[in-house]
A and B are shown apart, each in its own frame.
Chain A
Amino acid sequence: MFNSLKKSPSIKSQDAANGKKGQLADSTGSSHIIELIDICKSYGDTKVLDDITFYIRNNEFITLLGPSGCGKTTTLRILAGFEQPDSGSVTFEDNDLLVVPPYLRKVNTVFQRYALFPHLDVKDNIAFGLKLQKLPASEIASRVDQALKMVDLKGYENRWVDQLSGGQMQRIAIARAIVNKPQVLLLDEPLGALDLKMRKEMQIELKQMQQSLGITFVYVTHDQEEALTMSDTIIVMKQGRIQQIGTPTDIYNEPRNAFVADFIGESNILPGRMTQDFEVDFCGHSFVCVDPRFEQEEVDVVIRPEDIQIVSSEGKALRGVVSSIVFKGVHYEMNVDTDNFSFMVHSTDPVDPGTTVGLHFDPDEIHVMAKSDFSPDRILTISDHENDEISHEEVTW
C-alpha cells in the first residue's frame, strides 16, 4: 500500500532505498548533492547509528526528526565533519566526503546554542569565515551587510554578542553561516532555545530564506510540528535507525509503523488482524479498509482522533462511553471507552461525560501498518512530549 499511495516517484525510490543499497544505485543522479550509505556509528557499546542510508537532493529542505538520542544530531555532525562514522560512506557531489576535513567542506553549521564568538562583535562574527578566505575588505563589508539585511538585523554591526537576545543571537548565527554561501546549510535544532512565538516566526523566515537563497537545508529537530511546517522531506529516526522517509503529508497520512504514527501527531493505535484484502478486524469487529493484506495477519491499526465521528449509538458496531472531555481551543479532546480500547476523539461538538455514543470512521481513515518493535502491545505508550529536553549526544567540546 505504501507504493500505491506514493505521490512522487523520487520519494518512492528514497523510501525503497532505506536499508536497500541496490535500489539506491539506480536512483543516483546529479540532483543528489549528498548521499549517505550504510552509516554505522557506536559510542562504546551503544549503537547510535545503525545502517543509515538516505540521500539529499539539491535545494531541498530535509529534516531529521526524532526524539533525543535517536542519532539525528550525530548524523548531522558526520555531515559537518565533527564525527567520523565507524562504517559506511558519505559522498558530496559524487566525491568522498569523509576524507575532507571540516574546514574544507562546502557546508556550514548553525549550532543549537548559537556558538557565536563572544570576543568579537556582530560584524566580526559574520565576517569570520570571509576573512579566513582572505577576501578583499570591500567585498567582506558588502557581504556582511547583505547577510545582516537578510536576517533583519541591520544596524547591529557593532553590538557585542552578549548584548543580543536569544532570537537575535540565532539570527546572527544564521547570518554567519549563510554569508559564506555554503552549498548545504546544516541546522542543529536552531530554534530549540527560543520561546514558542519566536520559534513560529523563525520557522517561516527560515523556510523563506531557504527558498530565496536556493541552498539545501539539512535541519535537525525533535519538534514534529516544526518538521511538518518547514520540510520538503522528513526522515523520522528512532534508536539510530530510519523509521520512515517521506514528504510531510506522507509521514502524517501514511505512517509506516506505530512509532511514526505516535510521534507525528496524535493517534489511536490498536492491535488488529487482517486475513484478507480490504478488511481488518479490531475491537471485536470487522471493518472495511483500503489496504490489501500484509504477509502477517497481525497488524497495527491507526486512526487519527480528528477522523473519528461521534454519532448516535443506535445500530453502531462500535459503541463506547465518553469518559473525559477537555477543551483545547480549536476542538474538544474526548476519550471514549469501548470494551477493548479507549479512543481519543477530536471534535468541535462537546459530549457530556457518561454519555454512550457510537464511533464512526470511513474506510479510508483506517490506516493499517505492519507490526514493528513499536507496536502498542509491545510498548504501551510512547510519549512524544518526553523529548523536550535538549539532547547532548556528544561529550567533546
Chain B
Amino acid sequence: MKKLLKNGYMFLIFAFLYAPVVVLIIFSFNDAKSRAVWGGFTLDWYRKLFQNSDILSALRVTLIIALLSALISTFVAAITCLGLQSMKRRLRGVIMQVTYIPNVSPDLVTGISLMLLFFFIGLKTGFPTLLMAHIAFNIPYAILSISPKFKQLDKNIYEAALDLGCKPHQAIIKVILPEIMPGIVTALILTFTLSIDDFVISYFTAGNQISTLAITIYSMARKSVNPQINALSALMFVTVLILLIIVNIRSGKDSKVKVGTRGGDK
C-alpha cells in the first residue's frame, strides 16, 4: 500500500511536469486546426513548417548563433579556467562566486540590462548584439563545465611537460588540453543547447530585424492559432532533450571515472 502511494505520487508529479509537453507533441500530429479536437494523424504541420520561410530563416539564425556562441564562450571559458589555476585560492574562490551570479539572476534582468547596455554604448540591436548576449550568458555555464576538469588535473602534469622539453604553449596543447577535453565537449553541447533554448534574453537583444526560433514561436502564438507552432515546439523540445541527456550521461561517466581510477592511486 505504502509502495503504491509512493509510486502513485511520483507518477502524479511526472504527469504534472510532462503532460503539457505530451499534449503538445500529440497535437502536432493532429489533422485539424483546433487545439481541442482530435482529427486524425498527419505530418502536414511538419511539412508546412519546413516551407515557412520565416521559420527557416529563424532556424538559420538560431543555429548560427548557437554554434558561434558555443564556440566562443567555450574558448573564453577554457582560457579563463586556465588563468584561474594560477591564481591564489581566495581570489579564485571570489571569481567563481561571481561567475555563479548570472546563473541565478532572472533572464529578464539579464536581457533588459544587456539591452540597456547596448543602447547606452550606441549599438543597434541585431545579429552582433544577439551573439554577444548569448556569449555573455553562456560563459558562466561553460566555466562551470570546464573548471571541474581542472580540479581533477594532476598539479604536476604541466611541470612534467615543461621538464620533458615542452615550451609553455606546447605543454598546454599537448598535455592540458587532452585532459580537459571532456569538459570542453560538455561545455560546447551545454552552451549550444542553452542558446537554442533561450527566449527572454534573445527577445530583448535581437532587435526587430532578425528573429530566433523561440521569438518566432512567440510571435506566431500571439498572432493566431497555428498548429505549426506545436510542430516547431515539439521539434525544439526533442532536440534540447536529446542534447541535455547527452550532457548528463557525459558528466555521469566523468564522475565514475574519477572515483574509479583517480581515487585508487593514493
Contacts and interface: CB of A to CB of B under 8 A. Distances in A.
Which 4 interchain pairs have the tightest Cβ spacing? A115-B156, A129-B164, A119-B178, A162-B261
- Classify chain A: how many residues form its interface, as a range: 20 to 34
Contacts of A82: 159, 162
A156 interface: no
- Classify chain B: how many residues form its interface, as a range: 20 to 34
Interface stretch (A102-110, A142-150, A288-296, A320-328): A102-110
Given A80-B159, A102-B162, A395-B89, 10 more contacts: A101-B162, A111-B159, A114-B265, A128-B161, A129-B165, A177-B164, A180-B164, A193-B265, A395-B88, A396-B86
Nearest to A179: B164
A115 B164 contact: no
B26 to A, nearest CB: 46
A132 B160 contact: no
Contacts of B261: 162
A176 interface: yes
Interface centre among B85, B89, B167 (most CB of A within 10 A): B167
Interface string B195-211: 00000000000000000
23 contacts: A101-B162, A102-B162, A103-B162, A103-B163, A108-B164, A109-B160, A111-B156, A113-B154, A114-B154, A115-B156, A115-B157, A115-B160, A117-B157, A132-B165, A132-B166, A166-B265, A166-B266, A177-B163, A193-B266, A394-B155, A395-B88, A397-B85, A397-B159
B154 A132 contact: no
Contacts of A397: 85-86, 153, 155-159
B170 interface: yes
B164 A132 contact: yes
Interface of B: 85-86, 88-89, 153-167, 170, 175, 178-179, 261, 265-266
Contact of B170 (A117, A132, A176, A180): A132
Given A162-B261, A395-B88, A102 B159 contact: yes
A251 B242 CA distance: 68
